[in-house]
Amino acid sequence: MSTDLQPFPGIPLVNVRRREIPCHCEAHCGEVVVQFDAQLPNGRPVAIMEDWRGFHLAIGNVKMLGLHPYSPPMSTAAIRKALQEAIG
């Protein structure tokens, strides 16, 4: 994953924040993962996480993002497609 603030060039994310955080779920057990928090141009929040299995995506409205689980591991192409579809 790119270390700049546009992890997927060509996908116009705004208010992008990159962070490295320890994840304490059963799969990661404290492992540090990279997470991008951002918004799509239509205002929908997005979280993209990268771990040893690949990329994971959560898209939701601002009050529900925490309730949406991350996707199963996805390829870069699948993430791009999902983001483009969410932009509408």
Domain boundaries along the sequence of the chain: 14-87
Whether 1 has a pLDDT exceeding 70, the answer reads: no
**In whole angstroms, what is the distance from residue 46 CA to residue 79 CA?**
11
The beta-strand segments (E) located in the chain are: 14-22, 32-39, 45-51, 54-59
How much is the pLDDT for 3? 43
Write down the pLDDT at residue 65: 53
pLDDT digits 0-9 by tens, 21-80 = 887 777 777 888 888 889 999 888 998 888 877 888 888 866 665 555 677 888 989 999
Identify the pLDDT of residue 39.
92
Note the pTM of the prediction, 2 decimals. 0.77
